[in-house]
Amino acid sequence: MKSKKTFLMLILAAVVAFAAPACEEKKSPTPEWEWPDPTPDKPTPDEPTGPKPRYIWIDAASNFHDYANDKAKIESDMAKVADTGFTDIVVDVRPTSGDVLFRTTHTEQVKRLASWAGGKGYHWEERTATWDYLDAFIEAGHKAGLRVHAGFNTMVAGVANSLGQEGMVFRDAKYRNWVTVLNTADGLQSEMSTSSSAKFLNPAHPDVAEFLCNLLKELAAYEELDGIVLDRCRYDNLMSDFSDISRTKFEQYLGRTIANWPADVMAPGSATLPATLTTVQYEWLEFRAKTIHDFIVKARDAVKSVNSDISFGAYVGAWYATYYEVGVNWASPRFGVAGTYPKWATADYKNYGYADHLDVLLVGAYASVEKIYGAGEWSVQGFCKLAHDKVMGDCVVIGGPDVGNGTGWTAGGKANEAKQTVDAAINACDGYFLFDLIHVKMYNYWDALKQGINKYLREAQE
């Protein structure tokens, strides 16, 4: 009588003998027999499991009046967020000043932010508490059953307003050569000397990338943090950056020199593209998209080197047709940009799509209150559907409205429209995203959003 071991070996040999001809002949990529597919480690974006996620953003400055010094308020509001039906929060912990609201050895903590809240007019909201701001949201969010993501304003490091100036580039002169150089009508100028509010950094500066990646590593070290979402990971506008560093890197990219800088690339003061682009202008847009793409890769590597399980994402505006102005291609590298947007995209522009380096893409579908439904850009539904199509399954796409800014939203009183945005967005992509919590509270949209989310959940179960 044969042993069990011998019997199993005979079975294995028979299977190998049966499979070998198919492997050798390679007649077809489809095998003549079927084995069950292995269970994937995690669901793919186009194969979701269970109801789709619902994200809400918590801007630092707008909500600072409530949360800067009050853990109890954080806890009560997170419970209400969860009860409304949201599953995820994004809490802003690096506002545009560039200072932070998490543990770090690389820059200072936020001490004040400019705010309209609290009935005091426009004022500095001071933070006197010493407890860890991000930890408080992680604790309260998890207690309420929410996943907690840290929002990280990336290419900014200072803010100037009517109240004054705040941030690392105002506080420390050594950082000022990191600030973007603008190609203005009056010549090349550091953004430090202009009237712009947020002071952007030069994405092509290697010291900027190193500094930001070090901050992101410290953020990823929060063991209970569920995710990190980069915001403002972009150029400021079409006039930036024309520094010597960007010129050198661009010429290296081209393999040739630019004789007349910056005019050969862009006419001084150009806030929009000319009607017809030169070869070098096409190449310039391509180079800027590559610069942001390459930073995204470095940032992801930095985050995942500390915590391989943490979600890594980015927030972008959904208006892809003009997002080249800020140097960002957030689509899949498989999306044929040049075929759809030949006015500004080369055949190589697609190579710098970065969706395949993200776990999640939050898309601001910031249409007017009259444009909830629609097929094209500048409707909430259209924005979300088009973004989902461009990402092509490379990552999860979560889209939705800004219910406090933009045409028709600013005065409140749009509860029905806020409810409709849930249906319009969540059924057009992989989830729902709302900016910002302060507007839900100001205009009391809690019940409307809960109704919209509950409607979706009922339909998802049918």
Confirm if 147 and 90 have CB atoms less than 8 A apart: no
To 10 degrees, what angle do helices 71-84 and 446-461 make?
Answer: 40
**Phi-psi category of 376—alpha, beta or left, where left has phi over 0 and alpha has psi -120 to 50?**
beta
Enumerate the β-bridge partners of residue 123. Answer: 115
Domain boundaries, the chain: 51-175+205-235+285-461
SS3 (DSSP) at 190: strand
| pLDDT tens for each residue of 8-47 | 343 334 433 333 333 333 333 322 223 233 333 434 444 4
- The DSSP 8-state label assigned to residue 301 in this structure reads H
Q: Provide the greatest CA pair distance for the chain.
A: 95
Please, what's the b/e burial string for 132-146 (b: 16 or more CB within 10 A of its CB; e: otherwise)? bbbbbbbbbbeebeb
Q: Could you read off the pLDDT of 218-251 as tens digits, one per residue?
A: 999 999 999 999 999 999 999 999 999 999 999 9
Residue type, 111: K
pLDDT of 143 > 90? The answer is yes
- Per cent of the chain over pLDDT 70 is 89
- Grouping H, G, I as helix, E, B as strand and the rest as coil, residue 369 is coil
Q: What is the pLDDT of residues 223-232, one digit of tens each?
A: 999 999 999 9
Q: Which residues of 97-108 are buried (b: 16+ CB within 10 A; e: fewer)?
A: bbbbbbebeebe
CB 435, CB 426: distance < 8 Å: no
Interval 382-387 mean pLDDT:
98
Query: For residue 452, is pLDDT > 70?
Result: yes
**pLDDT of amino acid 22:** 36
Residue 1: pLDDT band by 50, 70, 90 thresholds?
very low
pLDDT at 52 over 50: yes
pLDDT digits (tens, 9 = 90+) for 67-118: 999 999 999 999 999 999 999 999 999 999 999 999 999 999 999 999 998 8
DSSP 76: H
Which backbone phi and psi does 27 adopt, to 5 degrees? -65, -35
Phi, psi of 413 (to 5 degrees): 70, 25
DSSP 132: -
Per-residue b or e along 30-54, where b marks 16 or more CB atoms closer than 10 Å to that residue's CB: eeeeeeeeeeeeeeebeeeeeebbb
Q: What is the pLDDT of the chain when averaged over all its residues?
A: 91
pLDDT score at 462: 87
Q: CB-based contacts of 72: which residues, under 8 Å, 6+ apart?
A: none
Specify the amino acid at residue 434.
L
Rounded to the nearest 10 degrees, the angle between the axes of helix 244-254 and helix 279-306 is 100
Across residues 184-189, what is the average pLDDT?
Answer: 97
Rounded Cα distance between 283 and 114, Å, is 39
Mind listing the pLDDT tens digit for each residue in 206-221?
A: 999 999 999 999 999 9
Give the pLDDT confidence of 54-68 residue by residue, as tens digits.
Answer: 999 999 999 999 999
* Pairing status of strand 181-184 against strand 164-166: unpaired
Total residue length of the chain: 462
CA 156/CA 113 separation, integer angstroms:
15
The percent of residues above 90 in pLDDT, for the chain, comes to 88
Mean pLDDT over residues 437-452, rounded?
Answer: 98
- The two three-digit tokens of residue 175, written as one number: 């950082």
Please state which CATH number belongs to domain 51-175+205-235+285-461. Answer: 3.20.20.80
Q: What is the pLDDT of residue 118?
A: 85
Kindly tell me if the per-residue pLDDT of 347 is higher than 70.
Answer: yes
User: 411: how many CB neighbours lie within 10 A of its CB?
Assistant: 9
- Tens-digit pLDDT profile for residues 279-307: 999 999 999 999 999 999 999 999 999 99
Residue 436 burial (10 A CB sphere; 0-12, 13-18, 19+):
buried
Confidence of residue 363 (pLDDT cuts 50, 70, 90): very high
Per-position DSSP letters for 254-313, written without gaps between them: HTS--SSTTTTTS-TT-SS--SS--HHHHHHHHHHHHHHHHHHHHHHHHHHHH-TTSEEE
Can you give the pLDDT at residue 145?
A: 98
Cα–Cα distances (Å) from 418 to 189, 302, 402, 448, in that order, read 42, 37, 9, 7
Sheet with strand 156-161: strands edge to edge: 164-166, 156-161, 198-200
